């Protein structure tokens, strides 16, 4: 069987069965505009076609294991189980401006071994197929639609490194941006990467309008190598050259993620190094308070005090580099990266 989200397979099937071409448009409209996720409910197509679809295609390869919403209703975290028994997560964020953002996973686990992140302890279980990524988007879009709102933004920055699953991520982005599917502007899609340099260059060619966020976390190679092993392969100089090419082609500002860890990367002198690195560049720095509840390799990591983060921000502001301090919207549901999946995996392992 094939996923109903595999447009090419559905069209091939319709042609083989001698159904008229317009049937696909009817199916497409029912699923992505009316959010029908049951073949029997697609009344715009004949019954024999509905029966044929049920025998050859499926809606869901992901099973919802749990769904938790924060007390202020702003954040919903969904834990999915794949058909091959891996666990992945998505998070819906409802901003006070009525903008709704979805963070999706692109891998089960992650191979990057960043010491401040919980996900890497699982290692890489598998790359998600394009339809497993699309199913996360569809589930969120349907849920948000039932609330009388609309999914406006997608960020590829939950579980996994998007550039290491490039083809499936690319296909899911094209899918999400299709006017007849989710109809999201490319400008409302952001891909966050640990800076796999060759793939950033390919990304620049393929997606000149999609936003790019980069996990920076330190302004020099010495610190970055300690907390992000990928720096040994792609040092800062190579990264910045690739990002300069992206900006030259797209004229788009890059978002630099900087997690603030006390006594690791929050010495005030590093704020000046950060300014030296980003001056004359189209940049926006997103300071992320370290979450002490994350299950990481470095249990001694502590969050940077707020006043030090604000000092970093003030220094950048003096040199006209915009920045924000990421708001924590999900403390009461343990929505730091991959926490629910960790708990679920621990429970499953105890059964074995």
Burial class of residue 196 in the structure, from the number of CB atoms within 10 Å of its CB (0-12 exposed, 13-18 middle, 19+ buried): buried
Bridge-based pairing of strands 254-260 and 211-215 is: parallel
The burial class, CB within 10 Å (0-12 / 13-18 / 19+), for 75 is buried
Catalytic residue among 103, 110, 194, 337: 337
Helices (H) and strands (E) counted in the chain, each on its own, are: 11, 14
Say how many C-beta atoms besides its own lie within 10 A of residue 221's C-beta: 15
User: Which stretches of 129-277 are assigned E, i.e. beta strand?
Assistant: 153-156, 189-193, 211-215, 254-260
Radius of gyration (C-alpha) of the chain in whole angstroms: 21
Residue 337: closest CA among 286, 300, 293, 302: 293
Q: How far apart, in whole angstroms, are the C-alpha atoms of residue 39 and residue 27?
A: 9
Is 117 considered catalytic here? no
Residue 135 DSSP SS3: helix
Longest dimension (CA), the chain: 70
Distance CA 95, CA 281 (A): 28
- Going by C-alpha positions, the residue among 257, 274, 285, 123 that lies closest to residue 192 is 257
Exactly one of 16, 28, 89, 276 is catalytic; name it. 89
In the 8-state DSSP scheme, what is residue 253? P
Any catalytic annotation for residue 194?
no
Structure tokens at 114: 């960043």
Report phi then psi at 211, rounded to 5: -75, 150
Q: Which residues are catalytically annotated? A: 89, 337
């Amino acid at each position: 069987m094939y996923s109903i989200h595999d447009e090419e397979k559905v069209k091939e099937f319709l042609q083989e069965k001698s159904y008229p071409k317009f049937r696909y448009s009817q199916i497409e409209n029912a699923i992505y505009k009316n959010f029908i996720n049951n073949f029997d409910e697609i009344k715009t197509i004949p019954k024999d076609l509905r029966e044929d679809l049920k025998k050859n295609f499926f809606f869901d390869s992901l099973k919802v294991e749990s769904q938790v919403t924060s007390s202020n209703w702003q954040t919903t975290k969904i834990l999915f189980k794949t058909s091959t028994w891996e666990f992945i997560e998505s998070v819906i964020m409802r901003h006070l401006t009525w903008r709704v953002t979805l963070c999706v996973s692109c891998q089960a686990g992650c191979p990057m071994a960043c010491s401040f992140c919980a996900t890497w302890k699982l290692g890489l279980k598998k790359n998600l197929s394009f339809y497993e990524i699309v199913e996360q988007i569809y589930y969120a879009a349907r849920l948000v639609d039932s609330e009388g709102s609309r999914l406006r933004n997608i960020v590829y920055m939950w579980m996994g490194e998007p550039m290491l699953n490039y083809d499936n991520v690319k296909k899911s982005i094209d899918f999400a941006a299709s006017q007849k599917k989710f109809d999201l502007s490319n400008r409302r899609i952001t891909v966050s990467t640990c800076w796999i340099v060759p793939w950033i260059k390919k990304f620049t060619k393929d997606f000149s309008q999609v936003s790019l966020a980069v996990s920076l976390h330190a302004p020099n190679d010495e610190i970055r190598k300690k907390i992000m092993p990928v720096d040994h392969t792609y040092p800062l100089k190579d990264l910045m050259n690739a990002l300069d090419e992206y900006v030259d082609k797209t004229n788009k500002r890059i978002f630099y993620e900087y997690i603030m860890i006390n006594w690791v990367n929050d010495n005030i002198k590093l704020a000046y190094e950060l300014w030296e690195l980003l001056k004359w560049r189209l940049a926006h720095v997103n300071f992320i308070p370290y979450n002490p509840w994350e299950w990481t390799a470095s249990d001694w990591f502590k969050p940077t005090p707020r006043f030090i983060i604000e000092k970093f921000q003030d220094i950048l502001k003096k040199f006209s580099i915009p920045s924000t301090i990421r708001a924590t919207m999900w403390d009461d549901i343990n929505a730091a990266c991959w926490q629910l999946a960790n708990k679920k995996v621990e429970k499953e392992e105890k059964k074995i």
